[in-house]
Amino acid sequence: MFENVCALLLRLYPAEFRRAYGLEAAQLMRDRARHERGVFQRCRLLTDLAIDLFATLHDWRPDEPLVARIDGTPRFDIIEVHGPRPAALAAGILASMLMFASFTLFFQPNAPPNTPAQPGRGSAPETPGAVSNDSAQQAAATDPEARHKLIAAIAANLKEHYVDRVIGQQLSDALLAHDRNGEYESLEMGLDLAARINRDIQTTSRRRGIPPGVFVADVVYSARPLPTDPPPPMTAEMRERNRAAMLRQNCLFETIEVLPRDVGYVKLTGFADATACQETTGRAMASLNNADALIIDVRDNGGGFGETALQIAGYLFDRPTYMYDPRPGSPVPARTASAIPGNKLADKPVYVLTSSRTQSAAEYFVYNLKVLKRATIVGETTAGHQHSGAFHRIDDHFGMGIQEALSADNPYPVKGWEIIGIEPDVKVSAAEAFEVARKAIESRARHR
């Protein structure tokens, strides 16, 4: 009965949310329901679900279309993360109070009173079944002709625009073959279809000798209509407004401090535009100049501008050092501006903290420090979002990025991070990463 209540709550979430995260959310609910037994723990679980539901209904929106690449100019994008608004939290608290009031009416234990409950067992049907039925109904409404037309357009783009025309033809042929074989028939016109097409493109590209980590193409789905025109050019007023906004946010430097034992710590939630933030970045790094070791936290860094990532990396080397950038014709210089006058950080131990949320320009930063063996990477494998190609709109809801030009030569054994992400040197959960890095610095200091 209790798992039925959880399944009902899940079905109240927006349809786009269920399609994107339904299976993971259902699994999380089942796992918690199996391990959190007893009235108090079940109350707490229902409270958490109710608060999350009302926050999602109030604030959640489908992913925005990737409009930054529509003009064909590649860049690293900043992904801003906002917490739930106070109104959403208030609604969640009200829902929790109502839930407590009615809890005794619908909560019934699965086992008889004198029989101990068995972990992982219950009479309720599996929650994913409800999600699957919902998805099946939507899939049944999918227009097969529209799906064939979409896949044909994606295949045509690969054939016409991919940098290697021979491989582009092979990718196109393979995609059309998958469609003829009926492999996409059960998928609705949305996120699931885009994900499956991307997986098939990656599989074919690996078979054709393209190494893991190299960007080939990426089909994206947006619930909101994609714009038909490129974004308007930036005006002087817009640039000044953006500059002022970045300065108010301290150029995305969330924390800068010197911890006990002279350990410098800096947390960046993004890499801000260097035209506005070059001086701020310089002052931040100078404030850590006397540290004996450095921890750079990019666990919540969604990307941004490669110029700022390069500027920070410049403090970590004593000579100009090559930093690989996968974007053809990148505006970011190929080498750091090292050595920086007065800088003392070039020979200090550096630990970089990562998570599965670390992506784009932050991955450019992490990748180069790892392959150059200049930093120890601690945490989780990064997101694997390279996306160095040009964007093509297919219809109102689908578009795709394609690698249309050759990237710069990459001298490193692992040729990039697209899809595969960047493996840390020390693999721990994101929550543990800071403490693990701090202890490693202390251990290193004791053995000097």
Cis peptide before 174 (omega within 30 of 0): no
Do both 304 and 322 map to the same domain? Answer: yes
Give whole-number Cα distances, 354 to 81, 127, 240, 306, 377, in Å. 17, 32, 32, 17, 7
pLDDT score at 48: 73
pLDDT score at 122: 34
Could you report the per-residue pLDDT of 109-129, keeping only the tens digit for each? 443 333 333 333 333 333 333
With respect to residue 201, please indicate whether it lies within any of the assigned structural domains. yes
With respect to residue 411, please indicate whether it lies within any of the assigned structural domains. no
With respect to residue 119, please indicate whether it lies within any of the assigned structural domains. no
Burial 365-397 (b: 16+ CB within 10 A, else e): bbbbbbbbebbbbbbbbbbbbbbbbbbbbbeeb
Alpha-carbon gap, residue 375 to 319, rounded angstroms = 16
Burial 339-351 (b: 16+ CB within 10 A, else e): ebeebebbebbbb
pLDDT > 90 fraction of the chain, expressed in percent and rounded? 64
With respect to residue 239, please indicate whether it lies within any of the assigned structural domains. no
pLDDT score at 447: 77
Q: Read off the pLDDT of each residue in 73-78 and give the average, rounded to a whole number.
A: 42
Do both 439 and 300 map to the same domain? Answer: yes
- For the question of whether the overall pTM of this predicted structure is more than 0.85, the answer is no
pLDDT score at 39: 67
Identify the residue with better confidence: 332 or 77. Answer: 332
Alpha-carbon gap, residue 359 to 41, rounded angstroms = 36
Q: Which has the minimum average pLDDT: 14-23, 129-138, 173-182, 391-400?
A: 129-138
Do both 296 and 427 map to the same domain? Answer: yes
Alpha-carbon gap, residue 256 to 11, rounded angstroms = 43
Do both 157 and 95 map to the same domain? Answer: no
What total of structural domains would you count in the chain?
3
Asked if pLDDT for residue 232 goes beyond 70, the answer is yes
Do both 170 and 133 map to the same domain? Answer: no
With respect to residue 428, please indicate whether it lies within any of the assigned structural domains. yes
Asked if pLDDT for residue 444 goes beyond 70, the answer is yes
Name the strands in the sheet holding 398-402, side by side, starting at the edge strand that comes first in the sequence: 217-221, 398-402, 390-393
Do both 70 and 134 map to the same domain? Answer: yes
Q: Read off the pLDDT of each residue in 214-240 and give the average, rounded to a whole number.
A: 91
Q: Read off the pLDDT of each residue in 220-249 and give the average, rounded to a whole number.
A: 91
Q: Read off the pLDDT of each residue in 336-345 and give the average, rounded to a whole number.
A: 97
With respect to residue 304, please indicate whether it lies within any of the assigned structural domains. yes
pLDDT score at 134: 46
Among 171, 198, 217, the domain-final residue is 217
Do both 149 and 101 map to the same domain? Answer: no
Average pLDDT, rounded, for the chain: 82
With respect to residue 69, please indicate whether it lies within any of the assigned structural domains. yes
With respect to residue 82, please indicate whether it lies within any of the assigned structural domains. yes
Do both 197 and 329 map to the same domain? Answer: no
Q: Which has the minimum average pLDDT: 38-42, 163-167, 210-214?
A: 38-42
Do both 283 and 425 map to the same domain? Answer: yes
Alpha-carbon gap, residue 326 to 422, rounded angstroms = 14
- Domain of 167 in residue numbering reads as 144-217
Q: Read off the pLDDT of each residue in 294-320 and give the average, rounded to a whole number.
A: 97
What are the beta bridge partners of residue 188?
Answer: none
pLDDT score at 172: 98
Do both 261 and 368 map to the same domain? Answer: yes
The 10 Å Cβ neighbour count of residue 324 is 19
